[in-house]
A and B are shown apart, each in its own frame.
Chain A
Amino acid sequence: METNSGRRLVVVGNGMVGQHFVEALRERDVDRHWQVTVFGEEPRRAYDRVALSSYFDGASPQSLDLVASGCYDGHGYRLHLDEAVIAIDRAARTVTTSRGRAVGYDELVLATGSAPFIPPVPGADLPGCFVYRTLDDMDAIRAAAQRATARVGLVVGGGLLGLEAARALRLLGLAVHVVEMAPRLMPLQVDEGGGALLRRLVEELGVTVHLGTFAAAVTEAAPDQAAPRLVTLGDGTELPVDLVVFAAGVRPRDQLARDAGLAVGARGGVVVDAGCRTADAAVHAIGECACIDGTVYGLVAPGYAMGSVLADRLAGGNAEFRAADTATKLKLLGVDVASFGDALATTDGALEVTVNDPVAGSYAKLVVSDDATTLLGGVLVGDASRYAALRALVGRPLPGDPLAMLAPRGDGGVPGGALPADAMVCSCHAVTREAIDTAIAGSGLTTVAEIKGCTKAGTGCGSCVPMLSTLLTESGVTVNKALCEHFDCSRAELFDLVRVQQIRTFSELVGRYGRGRGCDVCKPVVASVLASLGNGHILDGEQAALQDTNDAFLANIQRNGTYSVVPRIPGGEITPEKLIAIGTVARDFDLYTKITGGQRIDLLGARLEQLPAIWRRLVDAGFESGHAYGKALRTVKSCVGSTWCRYGVQDSLGLAIALELRYRGIRSPHKIKAGVSGCARECAEARGKDIGVIATENGWNLYVGGNGGFRPRHADLLLTDVDTETLIRTIDRFIVFYVRTADRLQRTSSWVESLSTGPGGEQADGLDYLRSVLVDDALGIAAELDAAIERHVGAYEDEWAAVLDDPVRLRRFVSFVNAPDTPDPSISFVTERGQPRPVLLGLPSAAVPAPAVPASGVPAAVPAR
């Protein structure tokens, strides 16, 4: 039970800074002197607003959650969500909330953040107009983008926030216009030179930039127009759009304070002293709503600093806020942009040193003192790899010639060794180099994750993370390669152990070389290693328990718990009969059908218990199911090649089919994709694949390490003009060498890149090395690699058909163990564009942080046998 002995502290706002403050106070408040009540207007507890845009890269609301475990466990610390404070009565020392509650306080903290600024544009309140501040805003924008018909969005504001919003709209598949009043993008952070390059890079990514003008009006378009809305710019240009996002800056949320008669700054913000206190000694303000020393900060690091200062004050200390570092580094639309210190060279006599490399697409400027000895600030566009190191040197003597420090590409620029002990490595959490070195040495840290856990460095904006790994490497510790808590070795080491010791089961492996009972990280790795070394069907014996959840059912799970089936169509070649067969299967099982990006046909919405019957029909029609899941060969994409195409110089299709049939079923660290084009026009996009083959007059060119996806990379040319036999032998060896030595979930692209770094970190030519191993057999393992592929080809069986033939394996394909044919009642579909689409499932109430199990009589599992 709570006592009333503590002093009552009310915090208004559960955003980034409010939460940081509560945690900082809780750390100091060991004897629970405070009774803390936090009100948050949003329905969610504090989340990482800085990383908000990662929501569009697939981050979930859970992964953005910021609240430390146990923070509000009831011992005097309480959080009320979806409840705003609407008034403060300073005389009575109470606040009133939107739920009509009145709560008394001894101390009050305002951490209300800021609100998006919407310029007074007629029509800014129409449907289809959004701001960019909360997770709810993100959901609304996503929903609007899904309904968009013209597929065009417009962002008002070309600053940091505007470019983030532009990126989000691109990710949502919209064409994007950005309108900025200033003559350059990011006017507050970068100078003219940087702005010009930024504009070019941003436009190359398909964003149209309108500078020096503004959005004058938003109007509803006539019903017959392609787009529902029209934006008129200051220069008269009319742009038809689906939606508009206002990202033209923010204003401090200081209304509560104004209403309570507290002073606000000239441009808003609750006026506070260096201890974050207002003129009323019982009221404090921190974060974006505060005006401290005449400045309102729009960044999280100064807010965190204020939170720490206030926590210290309330715990009896006398910490003071000092003017904060407003350095920023961002990846905007894939372009690195960083500015730090006096970026716009406003200091008297400041000198600028600029390196502009339009070809490489990078611009860098350092601002130094008039005697060129002290670093004052800088701007980096395109390549910001030196940011962490340079920022930490602001205000200090330059360790070298400024030009040399900006020289293009090196390996991350300034080595950690150049940093003085008190240099601020992580400005989000105010962690110095010394603190990090001490933590590494003192606590024997071996991973960046451990440094984060121990010092909090790297857990804010993340831009200091590269520096953390530099410091870790330079400290001389052996960097930890452990797969997970169950195994201390890497995937490659595990592979060798299993191969050399001839281990056949997970139990034996974990018993001899690991601990515990495995997890979703190591079990699939061991399953893949065992499969590569030939251990029979993946569902046999103990192996069944190791398979990743898709492999366990030989199909790819969908968001509603159904599965997709993607029949293998080698090289994309298919007969009319087989096309019809796929159509009838889809029709008979009522599956959603789509042509994939990999020259196959995806059948979606199959219930678990339907899978065997679907496979049976496919097998009868001459198909096998294919891997659209699993770390294995996916497809070998092909063009029609010399058989039909008037430009083709080799039979690309024939080769693609041969390759797909040769490597299907192989298990690897990540998925493998291949492509074969019949001539240099490259219609099969082979250079975007792990293995790419392009026909030449004289034979084939082989490319390796290509990738689409999250980090696109063109494959590198490994061999030129080789005959088919040499080609296939080299691909064989490439695949096995990759399977044996790459890390878990490492695509060939980053594996090939990793070969360019020697054991001591020195630069090497990775392709030369690969050639020496695969072609010249420098390691003397070629025969072994060849034998591994022969074994694979010889032992290949259709895994799906093999399930149908075995009643024991079939037993797991049921909806319920006690009602094998009863369909899961939660699965249902509606019709959209003539096909089934899953009805979205509701979330259980337990998903909101509240105990789902009754406190009394918690049923415990009873051991059996």
Chain B
Amino acid sequence: MTTWTTVCRYDDLLPERGAAALVGDLQLALFRCHDGQLFAIGNQDPFTGAWVLARGIVGSRAQRRTVASPLHKQVFDLRTGECLDAEGVTVPVYEVRSREGMVEVNVT
């Protein structure tokens, strides 16, 4: 099932940085990349338990879009949620889109 929840205006997101969003009880980390692409992953850093991934540095590793945890800098693939520095560690990923200037996520 797909239910889109409107979160914020597209312009509320800064290019190449993240922002945390609260959908129900769920904390998401939304990212707007340099070319306008949007990504949404879970906000919790699986290594420390802190809800901070939205505050990481956005970048790339080879062809993948990434964010580095602000606590100990482990890098996560924004598209798959996979941690590229520790095998088997993954954060959830969510669908996200921009419609009529608004950012919507699907967390179902």
The answer to whether A853 and B59 touch across the interface, beta carbons within 8 angstroms, is no
The answer to whether A60 and B87 touch across the interface, beta carbons within 8 angstroms, is no
| Interchain CB contact (< 8 A) of A864 among B36, B47, B81, B106 | B36
The answer to whether B37 and A520 touch across the interface, beta carbons within 8 angstroms, is no
What per-residue 1/0 map shows which CB atoms of B15-50 lie under 8 Å from chain A?
Answer: 111011111010100100110111110101011111
Q: How far is the CA of A69 from the CA of B85 in the complex (A)?
A: 10
Of the candidate stretches A132-140, A544-552, A779-787, the one touching chain B is A544-552
Q: Tell me the interface secondary structure of chain A in the complex.
A: loop
Contact count A vs B, C-beta below 8 Å: 188
Chain B nearest CB, measured from A465 CB (Å): 21
| Interchain CB contact (< 8 A) of A861 among B40, B56, B86, B91 | B40
Number of interface residues of A (CB under 8 A): 61
Q: If A816-B20, A861-B95, A864-B36 touch, does A516 touch B59 (CB 8 Å cutoff)?
A: yes
What per-residue 1/0 map shows which CB atoms of A846-865 lie under 8 Å from chain B?
Answer: 11111111000011111111
The answer to whether A561 and B46 touch across the interface, beta carbons within 8 angstroms, is no
What per-residue 1/0 map shows which CB atoms of A793-832 lie under 8 Å from chain B?
Answer: 0000000000000000001100111110010111000000
Q: Assess whether A833 is interfacial by the CB under 8 Å rule.
A: no
Chain A nearest CB, measured from B87 CB (Å): 5
Q: Assess whether A519 is interfacial by the CB under 8 Å rule.
A: yes
**Which residues from chain B contact A861 at a C-beta distance below 8 Å?**
37-40, 78-79, 93, 95-96
The answer to whether A853 and B81 touch across the interface, beta carbons within 8 angstroms, is yes
- For window 1-26 of B, CB contacts with A under 8 Å fall at 7-8, 10, 12-17, 19-23, 25
**Which residues from chain B contact A560 at a C-beta distance below 8 Å?**
50
Chain B nearest CB, measured from A667 CB (Å): 16
Q: How far is the CA of A561 from the CA of B74 in the complex (A)?
A: 16
Q: Assess whether A517 is interfacial by the CB under 8 Å rule.
A: yes
The answer to whether A549 and B55 touch across the interface, beta carbons within 8 angstroms, is yes
**Which residues from chain A contact B86 at a C-beta distance below 8 Å?**
62, 65
Q: Assess whether A841 is interfacial by the CB under 8 Å rule.
A: yes
Chain A, Cβ-Cβ closest to B72:
A60
Q: If A824-B27, A864-B98 touch, does A849 touch B88 (CB 8 Å cutoff)?
A: yes
The interface centre, meaning the residue of A65, A548, A561 with most chain B CB atoms within 10 A of its CB, is A561
The answer to whether B7 and A818 touch across the interface, beta carbons within 8 angstroms, is yes
Q: How far is the CA of A519 from the CA of B42 in the complex (A)?
A: 20
The answer to whether B15 and A846 touch across the interface, beta carbons within 8 angstroms, is no
What per-residue 1/0 map shows which CB atoms of A495-526 lie under 8 Å from chain B?
Answer: 00000000000010000000011111001100
Q: Assess whether A485 is interfacial by the CB under 8 Å rule.
A: yes
Q: If A523-B59, A557-B52 touch, does A850 touch B88 (CB 8 Å cutoff)?
A: yes
**Which residues from chain A contact B42 at a C-beta distance below 8 Å?**
844
The answer to whether A545 and B68 touch across the interface, beta carbons within 8 angstroms, is no
The answer to whether A860 and B37 touch across the interface, beta carbons within 8 angstroms, is no
The interface centre, meaning the residue of B75, B78, B85, B93 with most chain A CB atoms within 10 A of its CB, is B93
The answer to whether A817 and B27 touch across the interface, beta carbons within 8 angstroms, is no
11 further A-B contacts with Cβ under 8 Å, apart from A516-B59, A864-B10, are: A62-B85, A545-B34, A608-B55, A812-B17, A812-B19, A817-B19, A819-B22, A846-B92, A852-B91, A853-B90, A864-B36
21 CB-based A-B contacts, threshold 8 Å? A62-B47, A62-B74, A67-B87, A486-B60, A516-B59, A542-B16, A549-B56, A549-B57, A812-B14, A812-B19, A817-B13, A846-B89, A846-B91, A851-B90, A852-B81, A859-B94, A860-B95, A861-B38, A863-B38, A865-B36, A865-B37
Chain A residues at the B interface, C-beta cutoff of 8 Å: 60, 62, 65, 67, 69-70, 485-486, 507, 516-520, 523-524, 542, 544-545, 548-550, 552-553, 557, 559-561, 608, 811-812, 815-819, 822, 824-826, 840-844, 846-853, 858-865
Which are the 4 A-B pairs with shortest beta-carbon distances? A849-B88, A841-B49, A549-B70, A864-B98
